[in-house]
Structures are given as structure tokens and as C-alpha cells.
């Protein structure tokens, strides 16, 4: 490629969909950030049913909540990454939820999907600010980032390693709204990690909660207030931009 030649186009497969979150807000924010790179060409889906063409994509981004592919789709996603591709999984991608009585249950119904991701969401304490620590300060994805406060859902997950944890937090206690509610062992809770899958990698970033006034239907007609979580936090935007560049194979400048 000569100095005057335009950069090659990079094909992006973006899946945004699910429940109990403002998916429109997340989708628009991600498209805006992707739009900062004119060489990116994005195809958008709202669930995992239509994966035709995924193999031609250069990388995958998911922001989904309470949603997983069927067994065939999970195998396609695993094979996509294992072939040498990258998957940036955001916030609720590793979540499946069922309300049984007054408690939420996380069914173990998608083992290949969760093992490829490296974790499965089981619970979170009530939303309130918590401190995110830098686990691997020399890694390019998080280098130069200082510990920061995230006003977000603190994910408590079953882990399917090995994982290279980049960011973590600490929390111990009981989450009464979830069947898997006992988290009294005081240990680091991953916030961002890498997982090698074959010749490719998954980057999972748990931050990014967002909810509008009408996103808890049919459980409630109107949610009492709007939540924008870490989308208001400058460090989150730096990390998300780096994560998008990582997925696209671009330099990781902040």
C-alpha cells in the first residue's frame, strides 16, 4: 500500500439486543465510536439467529442481555474466534436470566457459549459506585489508566479460564435477589479480561450498564429513573475506545 492509498476496509459484525437495558442507547454509542474510524464497515443484528456472513467479518462486537445462540450458533461463534478472529463482548453478553418467584436464576443452558466467553453472569449486588483496580498495568489495553469509580452493575460470574485479567474489583457479601447469591469469599472480581480461544481471543468488558424509563417492561411499566452507568465515566470511554481498536487491529492510543 502506498502512502496515498486509503486503508483497507474492516468488516464489523455488531450484535445488540436483549432485555432490561437501554439497548438503543448502547447501540447508538457503539456506532458513534465505530464511526470515528472511516475504514470500518458495520453490519448490525439484534440477536444471534442470523449469523450468515459472520465468517467474512474481521471482528465481532456483542452487547446483549439475557440472550444466547442455539447450540449450532454457539459452535459457529467459537469457531469464528478459534480461526484467529477477535470478539469484543460487552456488559451483559454472558447473562441468561429467569425470574422464579422473587429471585433471579441463571440457567446453565449455553455451556459452549459461556465457555467461549470465559464466564457466565450469576448475580450482582445493588447498583452503586465501586472502585475498579488495574490488574495488569503494563498491558497496552489498560496502561496509564488509574483506578476509577464505576457506577455500574458489579458482575459476579462463574469463570471458565484460563483468563488474563486486566481490570478487577473487590466485593464480598450476599446478593438476595439472585439464587446464586452467596459471594462472601473476598476475592477479586474480573471487570475486564482476555481469553485465548484457538488462534483468536475474546476481550470481555463487564462495564456499560444503561437503562431507560421503559426498559423493565413487562416487570414494571415505568422504571423510576434513567441509568447511564459507566457511560458517564471518562475512563470507561478511554477503555472502550481502546477495546474497539484492539478488536479492529488498530493502534491502541487513548
- Whether CATH 3.40.50.880 fits 10-248: yes
Confidence of residue 252 (pLDDT cuts 50, 70, 90): confident
What is the per-residue burial (b if ≥16 Cβ within 10 Å, else e) of 176-214? Answer: eebbbbebeeeeebbbbbbbebeebbbbbbbbbbbbbee
Mean pLDDT over residues 232-236, rounded? 97
Q: Flag whether pLDDT at 223 surpasses 70.
A: yes
Confidence of residue 8 (pLDDT cuts 50, 70, 90): confident
Query: What cell was used for 5?
Result: 492509498
Would strands 182-183 and 164-170 be described as parallel, antiparallel, or unpaired? unpaired
Which pLDDT does position 4 carry in this prediction? Answer: 57
Alpha helices in 12-70 (DSSP H): 23-34
3-state class of 139 per DSSP? coil
The percentage of residues in the chain with a pLDDT greater than 90, rounded to a whole number, is: 94
Q: How does pLDDT run across 106-147, given as a tens digit for each residue? A: 999 999 999 999 999 999 999 999 999 999 999 999 999 999
Tell me the three state secondary structure of residue 131: strand
Summarised one tens digit per residue, pLDDT across range 83-110 is 999 999 999 999 999 999 999 999 999 9
Amino acid at each position: 500500500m502506498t502512502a496515498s492509498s486509503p486503508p483497507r476496509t474492516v468488516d464489523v459484525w455488531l450484535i445488540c439486543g436483549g432485555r432490561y437495558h437501554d439497548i438503543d442507547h448502547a447501540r447508538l454509542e457503539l456506532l458513534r465510536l465505530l464511526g470515528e474510524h472511516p475504514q470500518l464497515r458495520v453490519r448490525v443484528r439484534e440477536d444471534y439467529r442470523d449469523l450468515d456472513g459472520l465468517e467474512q467479518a474481521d471482528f465481532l462486537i456483542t452487547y446483549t442481555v439475557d440472550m444466547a445462540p442455539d447450540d449450532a450458533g454457539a459452535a459457529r461463534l467459537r469457531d469464528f474466534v478459534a480461526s484467529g478472529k477477535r470478539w469484543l463482548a460487552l456488559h451483559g453478553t454472558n447473562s441468561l436470566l429467569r425470574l422464579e418467584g422473587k429471585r433471579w436464576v441463571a440457567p446453565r443452558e449455553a455451556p459452549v457459549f459461556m465457555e467461549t466467553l470465559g464466564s457466565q453472569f450469576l448475580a450482582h449486588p445493588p447498583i452503586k459506585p465501586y472502585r475498579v483496580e488495574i490488574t495488569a498495568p503494563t498491558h497496552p489495553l489498560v496502561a496509564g489508566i488509574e483506578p476509577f469509580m464505576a457506577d455500574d452493575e458489579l458482575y459476579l460470574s462463574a469463570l471458565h479460564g484460563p483468563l488474563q485479567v486486566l481490570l478487577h474489583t473487590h466485593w464480598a457479601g450476599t446478593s438476595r435477589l439472585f439464587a446464586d447469591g452467596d459471594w462472601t469469599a473476598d476475592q477479586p472480581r474480573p471487570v475486564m479480561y482476555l481469553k485465548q480461544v484457538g488462534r483468536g481471543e475474546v476481550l470481555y468488558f463487564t462495564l456499560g450498564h444503561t437503562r431507560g424509563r421503559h426498559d423493565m417492561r413487562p416487570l414494571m411499566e415505568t422504571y423510576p429513573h434513567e441509568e447511564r452507568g459507566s457511560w458517564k465515566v471518562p475512563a470507561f470511554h478511554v477503555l472502550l475506545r481502546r477495546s474497539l481498536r484492539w478488536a479492529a487491529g488498530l493502534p491502541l492510543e487513548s
